[in-house]
Structure 1
Amino acid sequence: MKIGCHVSIRSGFAGAARAAWEMGASSFQYFPKNPRSLAVKAFDHRDAAACKQFCEKNGIVSIAHTPYPTNLSVDDPDLYQATVRSVINDLEIANACGSIGLVVHFGQYKGKVEDPLFGYKQMIRMVNDILGQWTGAALLLIENNAGQGNSMGMTIEELVQIRQLLAQPERVGYCLDTCHAFASGMWNGTDWQPVARKARELGFLKHVKAIHLNDSMHPTGSRRDRHANIGKGHIPEAAFQEVFETPEFRELPCVLETPHPAGESHQKEIAWVKERFIANTKASL
C-alpha cells in the first residue's frame, strides 16, 4: 500500500509532492485551494503539471480533498450553484496535478424539508450536475461519514445505492475513512471480516480508490469525528492489520489525517505504520 499523509500546498502543488516524498510518503492528499472557501481558484497550470511529473517520476499517488464547506445535499439555490462550481474547480485542479480523484464527504442535509429521502435526492441531483459538466479523468471519491450532526452516509448500503442511482456511476469511487467507519458503528474494530465480506458482496470494495488512515479518539458507535494517531486511539492495532490485509486495498493510497505537533511532519508516523503493518502484511501474503 502507498502510505502517506495530508500535505499543505503553501509551497505550491509541486512543493506538496516534494514534501511528501521527503518524509518517505508514497501518497499524499491536499486541499486544491483555501479549505474554508468555495470560491473558484485560478491556479498555476505549470505548477500543477510539475506536481504531476514529479509524482509520476517518483511513483507517488495523490488525491485532492474538497474544502470544509462543501456539502452535496444543500437546497439553497445560490449555495447549490456555488458548490457545483467549486467542486468542478477542485476536479480541474486535481486532474491537472495528476491526482486519481477528489474526495468529498457524503452529503448532509440540514434543511427544513421533512421528506427523509430529500437529502439523498439533492445529493444525486448535485453529483449528476457536477459530472454532467466535468470531462476530465479525475474521479469523484465519496467519503463515508462518522455520523456527527447527521446520520447520512454512515452505512455501506447508502454509499453503494447512491452510486448506483447516479447517471454516470463509473466516474465515482469511494474513499474509506477508518475513523468514520469506526465512529459510525459500520465497523466495531473486531468484525472487519464480516464487514469486508458484506462490502465485497455489495460491490463496495472494488470501487474504493483511497483510504483515510485514522484512529479514533472515541469508542465505536460514538458518532464523533475526532481522529487519533494510529495505535493511540480506540481502534485495536489488530483491526488495522486486518484492513491492511484486505486484497482490494493492496495498491491503494492510504493517507494519514492524524494530529502532529506544530512544526513537525508525519514522517515518524509514516515510518512506524510501514514497519508495524506493511512489513507484517507482506510476510502474510
Structure 2
Amino acid sequence: MLYIGNHTSSAKGYASMARQTIANGGNTFAFFTRNPRGGKAKEIDPEDVAKYQVLAAEHHFGKIVAHAPYTLNACAAKENLRDFARDTMRDDLRRMEFTPGNYYNFHPGSHVGQGTEEGIRKIAGILNDVLTNEQTTTVLLETMAGKGTEVGRSFQELRQIIDLTDQKDKLGICLDTCHVWDAGYDIADHLDQVLEEFQEQIGLERLKAIHLNDSMNELGSHKDRHARIGEGKIGLEALVRVICHPALQGLPVILETPNDDEGWTREIHLLREKHESLILI
C-alpha cells in the first residue's frame, strides 16, 4: 500500500488534519508540532486525539510524521539556542505520546562556523539529553541539501550523529528527495546506487519516511528550493521510481511541494495512479 499525504497545518487539531488528508486522497500526513518559527505549542485535546484515532483506523492510515520547528538548531553556537532546542524536543516528544508509535522529524541544524565535527557532537549531545527508553516515538534525522553550514548533507554525517547517540534504537532517517538531489545524490539516474550507499553508510532499516519533492535546482546545487512534482529538475518519472522502489515500500510519503489543497490532491491522485500501475498491491 502507498501511504501518501501532504504537510498540513496542526492549528485545527488531529481530527481536522485527518479529515483534510482524507479529502485530499491521503492516508498519512505531516504537521508542525508548533509554529514553524517556534513558540509555545497548543495544548493537545485527548478527545480530539480519540476522534483522530477512529478516522485513522477507518481509513487505514500509515504512520504520521511530526516536524520540529525550523528555528530548532541542536548545534547552535549560543547555549540559549541549544537550550531552546533541548526544551522544545523534550516537550514535543512528551506530546507525541498522545499518538504513540509515530515519527518526529527534525533538521539536524547548522554549525554556524564551529565546524561539522563539533556540530555533529552537539546534535548527538542534545539527542542524548532528550531520548528515553520509555518513548514510543522514533526521532528522524532529515537529509539536508547542504546550504550554508548545514549538518546532514551526506549519509556519512548522519551516520556519525547516530554513532554518538546512546539510544540508537530511537533514531531513524527521513529522506527528502529535493534535499538529497541538491546535496549531490543523483536519484534521477542512479537511484539504486544512492540507496546502496545509504545501505552501506546507515542501513535501509533506518529509513522511515520520505519527503517527496521536486527541486528547482540542478544536481548538487546545495540550495534547497522545492518544486511541484514533475515541474523541477528531478522530474515526475524519477520521483515515481522512488515511491515504487522495492526497498521503499510501506514508508510514509509526505509532499512538501509549494501547493494548496487542490494542488496536493492532484499530486496525490497522480502518484497513486502511477504507483498502482507499477506495483501489485
The two structures have a TM-score, normalised by structure 1, of 0.90
Is 1:126 the equivalent of 2:126? yes
How many angstroms apart in 1 are the aligned matches of 2:19 and 2:74?
32
TM-superposed CA distance for 1:187, in Å, is 2.6
CA contact (8 A) 1:95 1:101 kept: no
Partner of 1:94: 96
How many angstroms apart in 2 are the aligned matches of 1:267 and 1:205?
29
Partner of 1:4: 5
Is 1:275 the equivalent of 2:276? no
Code of the aligned partner of 1:86: T
Q: Map of 1:42-121 to 2, 5 A cutoff?
A: 42-61=43-62, 62-98=64-100, 100-111=102-113, 113=114, 115-121=115-121
Partner of 1:214: 213
**Deviations, residues 241-285 of structure 1 (Å, cap 9, x unaligned):** 332232231101101000114x74511111011112x123315x9
Partner of 2:135: 136
SS at match of 1:121: helix
Is 1:22 the equivalent of 2:23? yes
Code of the aligned partner of 1:4: G
71-80 or 252-261, which moves further after superposition? 71-80
SS at match of 1:27: coil
How many angstroms apart in 2 are the aligned matches of 1:74 and 1:224?
20
**Deviations, residues 169-218 of structure 1 (Å, cap 9, x unaligned):** 10011100000010110235211111111212334321111100000011
SS at match of 1:117: helix
How many angstroms apart in 1 are the aligned matches of 2:195 and 2:155?
10
Partner of 1:190: 189
Q: How many residues are paired up?
A: 279
How many angstroms apart in 1 are the aligned matches of 2:67 and 2:19?
18
Partner of 1:243: 242
Is 1:168 the equivalent of 2:167? yes
How many angstroms apart in 2 are the aligned matches of 1:83 and 1:42?
19
How many angstroms apart in 2 are the aligned matches of 1:42 and 1:236?
40
Identity of aligned residues (%): 32
Code of the aligned partner of 2:76: V
The two structures have a TM-score, normalised by structure 2, of 0.91
Cα distance change of structure 1 residues 36 and 136 upon mapping to structure 2, 3 Å threshold: same
| Structure 1 runs of 4+ with >6 Å offset | none
87-96 or 222-231, which moves further after superposition? 87-96
SS at match of 1:266: helix
Partner of 1:179: 178
Gaps of at least 5 residues in structure 2 are none
Gaps of at least 5 residues in structure 1 are none
How many angstroms apart in 2 are the aligned matches of 1:63 and 1:99?
10
How many angstroms apart in 1 are the aligned matches of 2:244 and 2:47?
38
How many angstroms apart in 2 are the aligned matches of 1:9 and 1:150?
29
Partner of 1:227: 226
Cα distance change of structure 1 residues 40 and 11 upon mapping to structure 2, 3 Å threshold: closer
Code of the aligned partner of 2:279: K
How many angstroms apart in 2 are the aligned matches of 1:260 and 1:188?
23
Give the alignment's Cα RMSD to 1 decimal: 2.0
CA contact (8 A) 2:116 2:151 kept: no
How many angstroms apart in 2 are the aligned matches of 1:210 and 1:188?
16
Cα distance change of structure 1 residues 200 and 245 upon mapping to structure 2, 3 Å threshold: farther
How many angstroms apart in 2 are the aligned matches of 1:209 and 1:38?
27
